């Protein structure tokens, strides 16, 4: 039997291990999320099985139209379909409750056929709203790029959780 999945907030000592799993050394995704977490109202969570990271996600509680927002959910390809995304989502929903929020929002690409059924199974419902999202990323060659897409907005009430 494999070890259970645990989720906790990212610590500075986790950054080297997370950086190794990024598409390019220049990406700095984990370091950037950790830096935002240090400023407050931003929770960067890591799912683990033993000492192996499985994936990460963020609860962004900074002021904005979608507050708080679950975002940047990423499970490493070799860890998919094992419950890490569900564990990360539940952990961050619990954090939203601790922060006294009664709902959580997220944005998802309507073409993401893997994510949408999972979010629906976690009681997220489409609001009917859409937002244009611009993503900045570093490709496998180290080039910084941007991509724009229209995301569907989903919402979950935490009142019955």
CATH of the domain at 100: 3.40.630.30
* Cα gap 84→53, rounded to integer Å: 10
pLDDT over 90 for what percent of the chain? 82
SS3 sequence of 19-87: HCCCCCCCCCHHHHHHHHHHHCCEEEEEEEECCEEEEEEEEECCCCCCCCEEEEEEECHHHCCCCHHHH
113 phi/psi in degrees, rounded to 5: -70, -15
Point out the residues of the chain with pLDDT beneath 70: 1, 161
Domain count within the chain: 1
Tell me what pLDDT residue 1 has: 55
Q: What's the domain range around 68? A: 5-157
Tell me what pLDDT residue 6 has: 98
* Cα gap 17→53, rounded to integer Å: 8
Tell me what pLDDT residue 23 has: 82
């Amino acid at each position: 039997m494999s070890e259970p999945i645990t989720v906790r907030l990212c610590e500075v000592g986790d950054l080297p291990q997370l950086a190794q799993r990024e598409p390019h050394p220049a990406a700095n995704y984990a370091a950037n999320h950790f830096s935002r977490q240090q400023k407050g109202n931003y929770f960067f969570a890591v799912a683990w099985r033993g000492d192996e990271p499985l994936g990460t996600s963020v609860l962004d509680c900074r002021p904005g139209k979608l507050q708080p927002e679950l975002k940047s959910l990423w499970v490493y390809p070799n860890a998919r379909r094992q419950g890490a995304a569900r564990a990360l989502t539940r952990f961050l929903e619990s954090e939203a409750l601790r922060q006294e929020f009664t709902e959580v929002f997220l944005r998802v690409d309507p073409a993401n056929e893997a994510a949408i059924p999972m979010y629906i199974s976690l009681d997220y419902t489409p609001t009917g709203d859409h937002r244009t999202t611009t993503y900045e990323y570093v490709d496998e060659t180290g080039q910084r790029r941007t991509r724009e897409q229209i995301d569907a907005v989903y919402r979950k009430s935490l009142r019955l959780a």
